[in-house]
């Protein structure tokens, strides 16, 4: 059986990126496990913390660029763990409002101090860090453009810019 | 309630990276859905294709930097879809050997040609692409170092380098 696969330069670069991200996310999840959380949960807590408007699972899904059913399941697990509460919206009965609990706030405080994996960025030179900022911005914008092409429901709510 | 959270520069850069990756992965999964697969499944198929040695779920987990139970569940779903087969190893009865099926090979052929999202890298200049290569290598190496510190079972099998 032929073991080779001809990949384009872009495809090969993309795979290297995917692999690096898998390694970094695995270490980030191990770091966050020490404070009893993980990357998706911390994203939910952070979105709830910084949002000025009431948060619904659908809005969370848009901010996190995840599928709504994935985020609904996540929110329900987090509610069972006491990190968030959900409440039916008084005006729109089919809307669920998600809020941070005191326990969620406590985890978030520990998360702010857990920076071992983010501090891996210190291995880059000043020039590389600046370039990473530019590259991340460009790819983020390009990714949003691709999403708009690929699906009807636009993911139009930028989170961290 | 105080809506601000003081994050370090590294932490903020890390969040931007996480968000960009979420957007790109979401579009990549939408692209791969057209050919009936997704990122984790395609990783399994690719690992099986390029591996010279028999593959077990444990080895797959190491190559993909995922948790063994996650990969076992993934392999069983893929077997149900006819993309891979599993067989008990004749020598080591507690080992499972995973192999590509003809259907898996067909998906892989389509995957090789599905490069809309990887081609997003074309939005970068030549200099930025070279820098991305360097940055990815550095962060990959740093991530492996962090994993070795954080867990006993070393993730020592580099995949795409």
Quick check: is B1 in a domain? no
Q: What is the CATH number of the domain that holds A34?
A: 1.10.10.10
Residue A118 lies in a domain: no
Domain assignment present for A1: no
Tens of pLDDT, residue by residue over B50-80, are 998 889 999 999 999 888 899 999 999 999 9
| pLDDT 10s digits, B4-63 | 788 999 999 999 999 999 999 999 999 999 999 999 999 999 999 999 888 999 999 999
Query: Which residue is listed with tokens 């370039």?
Result: A131
- Please name which of A25, A115, A127, A109 lies closest in space to residue B12, comparing C-alpha atoms: A115
Asked whether residue B83 is domain-assigned, the answer is yes
With a threshold of 0.90, tell me whether the complex ipTM lies above it.
Answer: no
A98 and A154, same domain (yes or no) = no
Whether residue A56 has pLDDT greater than 50: yes
The answer to whether A55 and A89 have CB atoms below 8 angstroms apart is: no
Residue A66 sits at the chain B interface (C-beta within 8 Å)? yes
- Model confidence over A41-53: pLDDT tens digits? 999 999 999 998 8
A133 and A99 in one domain? no
Based on the fold, state whether residues A92 and A131 are members of the same structural domain.
no
In angstroms, rounded to a whole number, what is the distance separating the alpha carbons of residues B124 and B106? 31
Question: For all residues of chain B together, what is the average pLDDT?
Answer: 90
pLDDT for position B53: 87
Residue A2 belongs to some domain of the structure: no
- Please determine, for residue A151, whether its predicted confidence score (pLDDT) is greater than 90: no
Domain containing B104 equals: 9-112
Question: Count of domains in chain B?
Answer: 2
Same domain, B92 and B152: no
**pLDDT value for A89:** 76
Query: Looking at the structure, do residues A109 and A129 belong to the same domain, yes or no?
Result: no
CA distance B53 to A125: 38
Residue B135 sits in the same domain as residue B107? no
- B positions 22-51 inside 8 Å of A (CB): 22-27, 30-31, 39, 43, 46, 49-50
DSSP per-residue codes, B12-69: HHHHHHHHHHHHHHHHHHHHHHTTT--HHHHHHHHHHHH-SS-B-HHHHHHHHT--HH
What does the alpha-carbon distance between residue B131 and residue B98 come to, in Å, rounded to a whole number?
37
pTM: 0.87
**Residue A157 predicted with pLDDT over 50:** no
Name the minimum distance, in Å, from the CA of A94 to any CA of chain B: 26
- As given in the structure block, the two tokens for residue B25 are 């992965």
* Per-residue model confidence as pLDDT tens digits over A69-111: 999 999 999 999 999 999 987 777 677 899 999 999 999 999 9
Interface contact A87, partner B, CB < 8 A: no
Tell which A residues from 104 to 133 touch B, by Cβ distance under 8 Å. Answer: 108, 112, 115-124, 128-129, 131-133
């Amino acid at each position: 059986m032929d073991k080779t696969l001809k990949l384009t330069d872009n495809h090969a670069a993309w795979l290297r990126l995917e692999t690096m991200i898998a390694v970094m996310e695995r270490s980030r999840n191990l770091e966050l496990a020490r404070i009893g959380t993980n990357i998706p949960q911390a994203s939910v807590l952070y979105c709830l913390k910084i949002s000025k408007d009431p948060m619904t699972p659908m809005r969370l899904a848009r901010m996190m660029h995840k599928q709504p059913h994935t985020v609904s399941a996540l929110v329900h697990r987090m509610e069972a763990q006491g990190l968030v509460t959900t409440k039916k919206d008084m005006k729109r009965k089919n809307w669920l409002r998600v809020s941070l609990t005191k326990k969620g706030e406590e985890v978030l405080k520990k998360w702010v101090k857990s920076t071992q994996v983010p501090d891996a960025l210190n291995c880059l030179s000043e020039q590389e860090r600046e370039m990473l900022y530019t590259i991340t911005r460009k790819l983020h914008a390009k990714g949003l453009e691709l999403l708009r092409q690929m699906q009807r429901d636009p993911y139009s709510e930028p989170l961290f810019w």
